[in-house]
Structure 1
Amino acid sequence: MSGDGSSRSTKQVSFHSFPRRARPIALPAEAFDSTRVDVVVSHPGSDAVSAEACLDAGAKGVILLGTGAGNGNHAWLDWVTKAVASGITVGLSTRVPEGAVLPLYGSGGASDLLNAGALSMGSLPWSQARILLALLLSQQQVISPDVLAEHI
């Protein structure tokens, strides 16, 4: 009862949580074993020579480990633009142990790299991002931000 003689109802808030489950991916077929997805590291002052070598070796996809929230530089931006235009799938991840790729910076940063066609791997660790990309590529799926969003 309140001080004025009326009763007040108490409101309660309830939270219900349901796990978000990704659409199942088919188990790897034989093609998975020969689908090459390499990993290259970006660091201040780095160039794209190692990424170009991955393509020369037959990589169908590359995971780029950016600094901070997934940043590169102008050399990486040029490389991503050319690689994506030639049909290579580029996933953008980060070297940091916790945190996601975020389009915070231009001038070769994650914002520019994503606009150039790299695909954000979100907060998925780079090693898992590599496996996911290889699995999707081996199944000849068209990989888009929407497809990745179901799994990251």
Structure 2
Amino acid sequence: MDDALARPEVAGVVIAHGTDTMEETAYWLDLTVKSNKPVILIGAQRNASSPDFDGPRNLLNAIRIATTPEAVGQGVMLAMNNQINAARTVTKTHTGNVETFKSGDFGFIGEVWDDKVVFSRTALRRQHIDIGSAEMPRVEILAMFGGADGSLLRYAVDQGAKGIVVQAVGMGNMNVSMYEAVKYALGRGVPVVIATRVPNGRTMPLYGFVGGGKTTFDAGAVMAGDLSPQKARLLLMLKLHQGVSDKAGLQAAFDR
């Protein structure tokens, strides 16, 4: 993609993508594409046989965004339902509604009004990570839920996972069994990042009970902050690929 964006006649790139994992592809590209030219992902919530098929409008809007000078430097974006969302914050919130992609507390960064593209803010929390040809390390997501015993987390470590993201509850909390499994991973040199299943807010080292965010952080885990579990996995994977596996280095990446 960088080769295409380097061509002087190319203003930007538009990618048609299925909506289920679009936010992951968008964030991956936002982390790895070197060019500051706009990259826009689009999809559709209605199929082509529906009278209100939204695909053509989303595609047209994406082309308008890609050719708008203000889009330069905004990074990778999603253009759906006349709204522009930044790759880092956007997530799919509804299985069928056309207004499915939202950025929670942060809001979208712009809109398309007929043929006019209007940006209201800039995506600031961005970083670039160079990638090579080596295979990406295996990083798994394990969920905390009522009654979780941590066995799947231990199994992932035993099967060769190089990193773990825990989808915790609240601000990054878990029960004692999951906490012990996190310590099991950390004790074997496998970095653990704590994200949350809650759509808005962030994980923080706040609660001091066994399994609370503070105890897991003190044990060596990294806080994902406001990154979703699926995006935390991508950032952890890329940092491990880059050779960063220590807590301080990983936490600095998640705090950016």
Greater Rg by CA:
1
Count of residues in Structure 1 that have an aligned counterpart in Structure 2: 134
1:74 maps to 176
Q: What's the secondary structure of 1:30's corresponding residue?
A: coil
Residue 29 (structure 1) shift: 2.1
Q: What's the secondary structure of 2:164's corresponding residue?
A: strand
2:215 maps to 112
Report if aligned partners of 2:203, 2:225 keep a CA contact under 8 Å in 1: yes
1:21-78 deviation line (CA, Å, top 9, x unaligned): 555311x223343x10000000122111110121122100000010111111111221
Report if aligned partners of 1:31, 1:139 keep a CA contact under 8 Å in 2: no
CA RMSD of aligned residues (A): 2.2
Cα 1:46–1:24 shift into 2, 3 Å: same
Report if aligned partners of 2:217, 2:223 keep a CA contact under 8 Å in 1: yes
TM-score (norm 1): 0.77
Report if aligned partners of 1:40, 1:51 keep a CA contact under 8 Å in 2: yes
Within the candidate set 26, 29, 37, 2:132 is matched to: 29
Q: What's the secondary structure of 2:232's corresponding residue?
A: helix
Higher strand residue share: 2
CA distance in 2 between counterparts of 1:128 and 1:32 reads 19
5+ unaligned residues in a row in structure 1: which ranges?
1-16
CA distance in 1 between counterparts of 2:211 and 2:125 reads 33
TM-score (norm 2): 0.48
Residue 147 (structure 1) shift: 4.2
1:139 maps to 242
Percent identity over the alignment is: 32
- Aligned positions of 1:31-110 closer than 5 A: 31-33=134-136, 35-105=137-207, 106-110=209-213
2:233 maps to 130
CA distance in 2 between counterparts of 1:72 and 1:30 reads 36
CA distance in 2 between counterparts of 1:89 and 1:122 reads 16
Report if aligned partners of 2:196, 2:202 keep a CA contact under 8 Å in 1: yes
Higher RCO (CA 8 Å, separation ≥ 6 residues): 1
